[in-house]
Amino acid sequence: MNGNGPTVNGNSPPGNDRDVGYIQLEQEILQPLSGSGRVFAMPVTSWWSQLKTAGAAIYANRHYLQLYRRKHPERLAKPSGGGGDGCTIIPDVHINSTASVHHTAVLGPNVSIGPGVVVGAGVRIKESIVLANAIIEERSLVLHSIIGKNSRIGKWARVEGTATDPDPNKPFAKMDNLPLFSTEGKLNPSITILGCSVSVSAETVLLNSVVLPNKELSRSIKNEIIL
């Protein structure tokens, strides 16, 4: 790329009928180079996944935790409250050493808890990622969601998304990576995402929604994007 827009092998910008700042890697870079002897591949025999959507991050988190179990089991919380974590653990779960988790909380399967996170009494978290310094208050529920840094979930709140896993019966299945909206203009069901510093009031329900940073939610929300 240069100041006048992207180029291929020093030639003029590709004729993709789009803005000169737009480029398609597969069609406009890899295909022209494929017969030049300058493209190489590295075969991968282990699991891998594309991360094109936030839903894919939850799926990848599950496999990353499985990798921990095989290669670095010391990084995982021990089941049934062992290892000083105190809470009930359903493997696989990673809890940062600086996080505080109440002994009555239930975490897992497939949960990652970041540094400085506070998880209150009776909290249930499953198939989710909780990022640094988030606070999950008492008796709240978090399912299939990503909780952003410095966010707060109020007491008895429910934050839930929809799983977007590939078909387990297909040996080479992959994430569909659906766009945010369907052809009818409706929000496609996916995980729930809270940006950083989002506050969710007590006793509210957040379902299949995306919330941008620094928002305060005082009502229940379903299938919405909060800008």
- Residue 202 and residue 155 in contact, taking contact as beta carbons nearer than 8 Å: yes
Domain segments of the chain as ranges = 1-41, 54-226
Q: Is 116 left (phi over 0), alpha (psi -120 to 50) or beta?
A: left
Instruction: Please state which CATH class domain 54-226 belongs to.
Output: mainly beta
Neighbours of 120 (CB within 10 A): 18
C-alpha closest to that of 206 among 189, 187, 195, 219: 219
188 band by pLDDT with thresholds 50, 70 and 90 = confident
Tell me the pLDDT tens digit for each residue of 140-172. Answer: 999 999 999 999 999 999 999 998 776 555 555
Phi, psi of 61 (to 5 degrees): -60, -40
- Residue 149 and residue 131 in contact, taking contact as beta carbons nearer than 8 Å: yes
Q: Give the pLDDT of residue 130.
A: 99
C-alpha closest to that of 115 among 95, 101, 135, 129: 95
User: In the structure encoding, which two tokens stand for residue 77, read together?
Assistant: 């919380």
Q: Give the pLDDT of residue 31.
A: 86
Q: How many CA atoms lie within 13 A of 207 on its CB side?
A: 5
Q: Is 77 left (phi over 0), alpha (psi -120 to 50) or beta?
A: beta
Which one-letter amino acid corresponds to residue 31? Q
Q: pTM of the predicted model, to two decimals?
A: 0.78
Q: What is the DSSP letter of 208?
A: S
Query: Which residue did the predictor score with more confidence, 73 or 18?
Result: 73
179 band by pLDDT with thresholds 50, 70 and 90 = confident
Instruction: Report CA Rg, the chain.
Output: 21
Angle at 190 between CA 188 and CA 196, to 5 degrees: 120
Tell me the pLDDT tens digit for each residue of 13-68. Answer: 444 555 667 788 888 888 888 888 888 888 888 777 778 777 789 988 998 999 99
Could you give the CA distance from residue 157 to residue 205 in angstroms, rounded to a whole number? 6
Tell me the pLDDT tens digit for each residue of 94-110. Answer: 999 999 999 999 999 99
- What percent of the chain stands above pLDDT 90? 56
User: In the structure encoding, which two tokens stand for residue 125, read together?
Assistant: 């978290």
- Dihedral of CA atoms 109, 115, 120, 122 in degrees, nearest 10, equals 10
Is the pLDDT reported for residue 112 higher than 80?
A: yes
Residue 94 pairs in a beta bridge with 112
Q: Give the pLDDT of residue 54.
A: 76
User: In the structure encoding, which two tokens stand for residue 103, read together?
Assistant: 């002994």
Q: Give the pLDDT of residue 82.
A: 43
Is the pLDDT reported for residue 117 higher than 90?
A: yes
Could you give the CA distance from residue 79 to residue 162 in angstroms, rounded to a whole number? 26
Q: Give the pLDDT of residue 20.
A: 65
Q: Give the pLDDT of residue 211.
A: 96
Is the pLDDT reported for residue 2 higher than 50?
A: no
